[in-house]
Amino acid sequence: AIDRPRQQLEDVAGEAILREQPKIDRFSTAILVIAAVAPLMGLLGTVTGMIATFDIITEFGTGDPKLLSSGISIALVTTEVGLAVAIPALIFGNLLSGWAESIKDDMEKAALRVMNLYKGKPLIQQAA
């Protein structure tokens, strides 16, 4: 058994877990931010492409589809790229978040096992 006050052990274990959480979460957070921003960047490109299309319509009219197609193409390509980045990033970010939560749960369980050493028997009985 450990001969320190239980509250002191709980404080030390809790502080250690809190200190490690940002390191565990950093990649999933960054990837989820990318997943959130990518469609917005695609939307920005869409708006830019449509503005270019309307500028062409204003200047040259609607008679030449080749002139219109460049602005529409920009709009569609940027939307596609934004979604192509966002969808896998969202999936990967959520997988990383789940993995990070699992690690934090394991850390908390390990800390509880250490706390149980203080009493000499576990607070939660494990199935045999």
Query: According to the model, what pLDDT value does residue 97 have?
Result: 93
Report yes or no on 127 lying in a domain: no
Does residue 57 form part of some domain? yes
End-to-end CA gap in the chain = 22
**Residue at 125 is within a domain:** no
In a domain, 10, yes or no: yes
pLDDT in tens, 65-103: 888 898 899 999 999 999 999 999 999 999 999 999 999
Q: Is residue 102 part of a domain?
A: yes
Domain count, the chain: 1
Domain range enclosing 18: 6-119
pLDDT digits (tens, 9 = 90+) for 11-66: 888 898 899 999 888 888 899 999 999 999 999 999 999 999 999 999 988 888 88
- The predicted structure's pLDDT at residue 128: 52
pLDDT for position 123: 45
Please check whether residue 124 lies inside any domain of the structure.
no
Predicted model pTM: 0.70
Cα 126–127–128 angle (5° rounding)? 110
Q: Looking at the domain assignment, is residue 97 inside a domain? A: yes
The CA dihedral of 66, 67, 69, 73, to the nearest 10 degrees, is: 130
In a domain, 59, yes or no: yes
Residue 127: the pLDDT is: 56
CB 28 within 8 A of CB 93: yes
